Structure 1
Amino acid sequence: MKLASGHKAPLFVVKDIFGNTVDLDQIQNQKIMLSFFRYAECAMCNLQISKIMKHKDSFAEKGIKLITVFESPAESLKTSIANRHQFDFTIIADTHRDLYKLYKVNPSWLKTMRTITIKGIQHLSEAVKLGFKAGGKVEGTLHQIPADFLIGSDKNIEIAHYGNSVIDHFPLEELFKN
């Protein structure tokens, strides 16, 4: 069963791509946006990260810590995400899919196929214009679908958003409208 608003967030302790310990339970007095992506060279994932970067001040103002999870190994994520985007957020390499399983973030061929729309093509075109390569190295599950969880300082899930396509993340505008 998928997680939903009101559920206790599953806690975890892992290392980020730089070897720092990330203990969800130890993040105090702060909301957490836990976002699941595909892999380091995914053009659509990099496009979403670039959109997030446009809202970095809003994350700070709202006191929201961003934690991202990818299937790629740490070295690939350092090159394709951390060095490229220059944004202070936590990146976790989950090559064994432990956090994906914990948060019930599953791959789906059907949802991947839903990406092949005019909107999906527009997203890919926008990503390519920003310099992200279409068809980059796949280091994970090609048909992985994103998910986003806003976790309150009480460690309860406030928003649980399981994507319906490769480009379906929780709208950032909705996150910051209050």
Structure 2
Amino acid sequence: MKLAAPNAAPRMYLKDIDGKTIVIGKASGRRTLLCFFRDAACPFCNFRIYELTAKHAALQRLGLDVIAVFKSDVPAVRRFVARQPRPFPVIADPAGLAYETYGIERSLWGKLKAIAMRIPTLLKGLRIVGLAGLNTNNVMPADFLIDGEGKLVETWYARDAGDHIPFERIELFVARDLIERSAAA
């Protein structure tokens, strides 16, 4: 079942690919962008990881943590996603337990729609992952903005395999929080 704001984000304890425990949904005072990706070889996902990596320093300076979850095993995540260091935690969830908790869906139609409608992004992603990017699962991505108290502020369930929350919405989330904090001070 899909989650909705402004409910509490489900609390989960996950291990990143380096074995560090990552707690999601706990009041930490930090805002979080929680990204669920398809699988480690997904060209759309790898292009988004590239974008997140490029924007990460600016987002982190504004007080936003990024967590990336893949429905793949650790060797696949290391091979495709983490072959270059990532400045945020990357989690392998091959059993899909976190995906079930957050109501992530599967869709062959969504996968095919992305292939047909997002050709430039597909080609950019295939440059990253190679032909392995043509053999991916049907899991749809989803993104969640979580406030410092562990509550969902916005949920974004993808309409196709290349659909992610726009960076403008992420920046608005960060800016809104900064304005609220400065007004309270």
Deviations 1:3-33 (A, max 9, x none): 1120110001121111111122556110111
State TM-score, norm by structure 2: 0.85
Instruction: Report the Cα distance in structure 2 between the residues aligned to 1:134 and 1:4, rounded to whole angstroms.
Output: 36
State the one-letter code of the partner of 1:150: L
| Aligned match of 1:124 | 122
How far the C-alpha of 1:159 sits from its partner, in A, is 1.1
| 1:141-166, Cα deviation, whole Å (9 max, x unpaired) | 61111000011011110110000000
Secondary structure (helix, strand or coil) at the match of 1:55 reads helix
| Aligned counterparts of 2:56 and 2:42: Cα–Cα separation in 1 | 21
Unmatched tracts of structure 1, length 5 or more:
none
Partner residue, 1:99 = 98
**Aligned equivalent of 1:81:** 81
1:72 deviation in Å?
1.1
Instruction: Return the alpha-carbon distance in structure 2 between the equivalents of residues 52 and 175 of structure 1.
Output: 11
Give the drift of 1:167.
Answer: 0.5
2:17 paired with 1:22: no
The root-mean-square deviation of aligned C-alpha atoms, in Å, is 1.8
Check whether the contact 1:67–1:91 (CA below 8 A) recurs between aligned residues: yes
Which residue is 2:133 aligned to? 136
Query: Percent identity over the alignment?
Result: 28
Please tell me whether the aligned partners of residues 52 and 172 of structure 1 are also in contact (alpha carbons under 8 angstroms): no
Partner residue in 1 for 2:182: none
TM-score when normalising by structure 1:
0.88
Tell me what 2:107 maps to: 108
How many equivalent residue pairs? 173
User: What 5-or-longer segments of structure 2 have no aligned partner?
Assistant: 176-185
Give the number of the structure whose residues are more often helix, by fraction. Answer: 2
